[in-house]
Structure 1
Amino acid sequence: MTTAQWSLTEHLLSSSPDEYKAATQAPFLLAAAEGRLPKDVLGKWLANDRLYIHAYIRAAGQMLATIDLPQIVPAAEASETQLVDWLIEALAAVRREERLFIDVASRYGIDVDLNPQKVEDKSTERGVVSAKDKGLGLVLIEDLFRSLHTSSKMAASSPLSLPWLEGAVMFWGTERCYLDAWSWAKSQQSFPGSQSDREDADGGAMRREFIPNWSSYEFARFVGKLGSIIDHAASQMIEKSGQQAKEEFVKRVEGKWKSLLAAEAAFWPALD
């Protein structure tokens, strides 16, 4: 009989059920599912989500710069190689996502800018958004993404020497929360895909455009691929390092996971 492989991702998903529910079943999501989000509320949230994409791109670039790929062809494809492939796919996906935001916002008459302050940048002007105009969830996630470089340096000196793993967990965690949140929203729709969405407060942008995209099979496959990379690499690392090292590693990752869930919960705007 074979022993089932321990799953780091499944462990994390079950480790903080109340926090995970807060991150994936917010009143904002229910309002989106029921077509009750006014365009100004939706626009402000989309503007924050668009800036989240920018933070994601910067963090992915930093992670790519720190991954050591095998210099000799391995017998089986290395986890690092699979992670690089996933990050490249992710970068292409979030750029498509940003273009989707702008396209849908234009078609539905939704403003997706956060009070930009224009500053002089050499010979050109570019819009910037001050921290006070950003949502708390965006600020927290930007901080978490910025901390990935420091985390990878600390992990490199630990007994469990996979410096990219904690960063990969953060990318997987934010994607998994997003998938589960919008899949939950889809399950709350009274008339998914019906003509009733034309009378929605946002004109149907959420129920016709965004919710189907963020709860799709393709997105679930994309998220699941990174989860498999993480679980395989974590199991191999722990098998080599022993139970004590596993406990120290899991405790550290659980702390990061809870910080991420708090940021994800704060990302959903409070509704009047």
Structure 2
Amino acid sequence: MPSLTSSLIHSLPIPLLTATQHPFLTAAAQSTLPLPSLIAWLAQDRLYLLAYVNFIGTILSRLPLSGGADREQSLEWRVAEVCIDALEMAKRELRLIEETARAEGWEGDVVDVRAGKETRAYQDLFVGAAAPNRPLIVALVALWGTEECYLRSWKYAATKMDLSLKAKDKDVMQRVFIPNWSSGEFEAFVRRVGGLVNKFGAGIEEGGWEWEECEEVWRQVLWAEKAFWPDVGGDEEPKKDSKKKANKEVTFGDGSKNGSADGGSK
């Protein structure tokens, strides 16, 4: 019998494709992304991450952790560990976005904004998926689904980049964000989450009500992910001085640079 994550991935191939191969990603990889679209998206992605932190906290609060000495071998403890790692990744992502926005001169436009409808959709999805009256597996599928889509999206973007570009010729998306969000570390994290989802879902009857709940939240994730990418087909001005600004390096408190943050989170 196929695993739960495999079944979900193969259940909606077209929505998965449209959610993870959006024109925004191609534009981001090829330096044709309008600057207003990039700034607006970063602002909403930052707010998404704050909602994600609350979502992870809710999952942690629902885990029935054992008090025994062997608790670290339990599935629930392993989920707690991956949730803690998710929080650490989200913290790094928030810092990466904020420090990069500050260096590029976008801080006010990225930080001083309200959640748009695309972000509110994710906020509602997280609240619903982690609701007390729903099985914990639904929240875990939502967590895995968002990360799986994000990984696929930026790996797709990475395939659209001009690999012959020198570092000085890359803009902020090519030099900082795309490598960060398509990294091997992030992929390993997503695989860990997927493995735990499959272990939790091993006892779920295919076609049963819990299975259907998982299918429903997967549909919601795909819809929300597609809606989250800004439309780049309008009349916005192309990015100006993006390559010039990309040459700035952001130095964090630990001494790392803005091109060296590990992993990604969505």
**TM-score using structure 2 length:** 0.81
Closer, same or farther: CA 115–52 of 1 in aligned 2, 3 Å: closer
Closer, same or farther: CA 196–256 of 1 in aligned 2, 3 Å: same
Deviations 1:107-133 (A, max 9, x none): 2333463684xxxxxxxxxxxx44xxx
1:214 aligned to 181, 187, 210, which one? 181
Show the 5 A alignment for 1:121-200.
Answer: 129-130=113-114, 134-150=115-131, 153-155=132-134, 163-189=135-161, 191-192=162-163, 194-195=165-166, 198=169
Gaps of 5+ in 1: 117-128, 156-162
Task: Report the RMSD for the aligned CA atoms in angstroms.
Answer: 2.1
Q: Structure 1 CA distance, aligned partners of 2:21 and 2:116?
A: 18
Q: CA deviation at 1:77?
A: 1.4
Letter in 1 for 2:128: S
Q: Structure 1 CA distance, aligned partners of 2:96 and 2:111?
A: 21
Q: Is the 8 A contact 2:98 2:111 kept in 1?
A: no
- Please say if 1:54 is aligned against 2:26: no
Q: CA deviation at 1:137?
A: 2.0
2:101 is matched with which residue?
Answer: 105
Q: CA deviation at 1:97?
A: 0.6
Deviations 1:53-81 (A, max 9, x none): 00001111111111111233459811110
Q: Which structure: larger Rg?
A: 1
Closer, same or farther: CA 33–68 of 1 in aligned 2, 3 Å: same
Q: Structure 1 CA distance, aligned partners of 2:187 and 2:164?
A: 20
Closer, same or farther: CA 192–110 of 1 in aligned 2, 3 Å: farther
Size of the alignment, in residue pairs?
233
- Please say if 1:16 is aligned against 2:4: no
Q: Secondary structure at the match of 2:2?
A: coil
Gaps of 5+ in 2: 235-266
Identity across matched positions, percent:
35
Q: Is the 8 A contact 2:144 2:194 kept in 1?
A: yes
Closer, same or farther: CA 138–75 of 1 in aligned 2, 3 Å: closer
2:194 is matched with which residue?
Answer: 227
Closer, same or farther: CA 193–7 of 1 in aligned 2, 3 Å: farther
**TM-score using structure 1 length:** 0.79
Closer, same or farther: CA 79–115 of 1 in aligned 2, 3 Å: closer
